[in-house]
């Protein structure tokens, strides 16, 4: 008979294998198939993946495939506005990433990289929403990283933060808000 520790390890192994299969499905299948499945069950699957990330935040074997799947979904935003709308407005993706950034800004480079992809592929109204939700956390993460004396730490944050700010600025409404906000400058 297996101990609870052994069962837990077995459950993690099965979970990692399942995530590996999902990653292949969501990153290697045709765009048409991914778009159809994301429209059909994207919000539920997204929220389930975020729950796994929240449950095992320090296990890169679990979190990394989840980030890959979420990043692959952002690539569908431009070809199917409903995918972007549902993942940004109806799933827990936006509040979850905000929470991850707020919990540990110094260890949030991977979160910022995922946010970068979401903002890059969002339409103007979604960029406005994301700016309102994420602005303070993005700036706080970068300013805290900027207090370190290790240049590589700053560089890890500089690229995604610069990309996020740049892509927010492509939306005229957000650009005006950014221009009038002292926090950005």
Using alpha carbons, list the distances in angstroms from residue 185 to 86, 159, 182. 32, 17, 5
Q: What is the DSSP letter of 88?
A: I
Measured between alpha carbons, how far apart are the two ends of the chain, in Å?
61
Rounded CA separation 95/106 (Å) = 18
Q: Where are the alpha helices (DSSP H) in the chain?
A: 4-28, 31-55, 60-74, 81-85, 93-103, 109-121, 124-146, 151-169, 172-179
Residue 4 has pLDDT above 60, yes or no: no
b/e per residue 136-161 (b: at least 16 CB within 10 A): ebbbebbeebeeeeeeebeebbeebb
Rounded CA separation 129/115 (Å) = 13
Look at residue 184 in the predicted model and tell me its pLDDT.
59
Is 117:74 a contact under the CB 8 Å cutoff? yes
Phi, psi for residue 81 in degrees, rounded to 5: -60, -30
Rounded percentage of the chain residues whose pLDDT exceeds 70: 87
Residue 158 has pLDDT above 80, yes or no: yes
By CB atoms closer than 10 A (0-12, 13-18, 19+), residue 179 is: exposed
The neighbour count for residue 36, using CB atoms within 10 Å, is: 14
Look at residue 148 in the predicted model and tell me its pLDDT.
63
pLDDT tens digits along 91-100: 999 999 999 9
pTM of the model: 0.86
> What is the total residue count of the chain?
185
Residue 164 has pLDDT above 90, yes or no: yes
| Coil, helix or strand at residue 35 | helix
| Coil, helix or strand at residue 75 | coil
Is 151:162 a contact under the CB 8 Å cutoff? no
Tokens for 37, please give them: 């499945």
- Which of the four pLDDT bands, split at 50, 70 and 90, describes residue 160? very high
Look at residue 98 in the predicted model and tell me its pLDDT.
95
């Amino acid at each position: 008979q297996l101990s609870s520790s052994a069962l837990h390890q077995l459950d993690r192994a099965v979970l990692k294998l399942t995530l590996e299969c999902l990653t292949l499905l969501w990153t290697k299948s045709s765009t048409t198939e991914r778009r159809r499945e994301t429209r059909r069950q994207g919000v539920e699957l997204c929220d389930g993946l975020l729950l796994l990330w929240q449950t095992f935040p320090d296990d890169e074997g679990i979190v990394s495939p989840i980030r890959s799947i979420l990043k692959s979904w952002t690539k569908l935003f431009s070809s199917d506005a409903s995918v972007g709308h549902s993942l940004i407005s109806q799933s827990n993706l936006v509040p979850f990433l905000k929470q991850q950034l707020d919990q540990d800004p110094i260890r949030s480079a991977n979160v910022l990289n995922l946010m970068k992809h979401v903002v890059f592929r969002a339409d103007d109204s979604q960029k406005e929403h994301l700016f309102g939700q994420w602005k303070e956390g993005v700036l706080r993460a970068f300013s805290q990283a900027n207090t370190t004396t290790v240049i590589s730490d700053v560089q890890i944050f500089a690229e995604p933060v610069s990309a996020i700010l740049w892509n927010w600025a492509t939306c005229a409404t957000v650009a005006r808000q950014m221009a009038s906000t002292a926090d950005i400058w």
